[in-house]
Amino acid sequence: MAQGKVGFIGVGLMGHGMAKNIVEKGFELVVLRHRKAEAVEDLKTRGATEATSLRDMAEQCDRIVLCVTGTPQVEALVLGADGLASAGRPLLLIDCSTSEPESTRQLAARLAPQNIRIVDAPLSRSPKEAWEGTLDVMAGGAPADLAEALPLLNCFARRVVETGEVGTGHTLKLLNNSVSLGYAAIYAEALMLGAKSGITPEIIHKVLAGGRMDCPFFQTFFDYVVGGNPEAHRFTMRNALKDMTYMSNVAGALSAANPVGSAVRNSLALAVGRGDGERYLPHLAASIAEANGVSLPGT
């Protein structure tokens, strides 16, 4: 049995599988109640225990993994009344959320006098890989902190890329997502223009599949568009818009022009504004098509 209790906050689509792998690898896991109560109950059957509050978790655990939506949620969990920092204990926080890099750096500086350290370790891939323990992780932080976090990260990752100082993991995650979400926006626009030209999604799929533009992201996106699988790519457009907004903030702080990223963000903002924010990302194709007066069969 691995030494020292480990806390886990955020046992949702990604976090449930991650936490499952941590407890099954021999760590003494403490979880916090989640809106998906069945995930907490499942983890308890595997050996996890449940904290009564954030402060209770921080009083029990030396390392705590956070897997929540983004910056506001992380800051509330750590700095809020009776939050993790209120316990007054040394902690290593491993933030697997997709958060704003500047906020992460500011939070690390603010918590350092309390001997609370942060490793930002956002994720790549999907809930399927989270369950299988084969995620990709980008990890930023001080070398000693990264070394302490690594045994936990290896529980649910096939690959951990150390990115540099704290905040660089979240920066790289945003860069990664800007590329993948750019694909989504391009696919959606091409499918819309195809529909307006009388070209079906199936024909577009036949042309691209197996060619140089084929990739796992293409396959899950089109598994929804032409395969009709609503669970193919479980990442909401509201979260995608949040990530591209964070990327825009990074570009603004660097006084850098990012016209392509801005266009991708606007495509997502259009879909969210149409009421599709809780739909999964491949539905962007249907949303963009409908905004242009056409529909895509099967979506």
User: Which residues are the active-site residues?
Assistant: 173
* Neighbouring C-alpha atoms within 13 Å toward the C-beta of 134: 3
Q: Is residue 233 a contact partner of residue 216, using CB atoms and an 8 Å limit?
A: no
What 272-276 contacts at long range (C-beta under 8 Å, 24+ apart), as own/partner pairs, is: 272/237, 272/238, 272/241, 276/237
Where would I find the beta strands (DSSP E) of the chain?
5-9, 28-32, 49-51, 63-66, 91-95, 116-120, 123-124, 135-140, 157-164
**DSSP state letter for 125:** S
Q: Tokens standing for 23?
A: 């407890």
Q: CA 25, CA 137: separation in Å to the nearest integer?
A: 18
CA 298 to chain centre: 27
What Cα–Cα distance (Å) separates residue 172 from each residue in 18, 43, 46, 179, 217?
20, 30, 33, 11, 18
Q: Is residue 188 a contact partner of residue 287, using CB atoms and an 8 Å limit?
A: yes
Q: CA 180, CA 64: separation in Å to the nearest integer?
A: 29
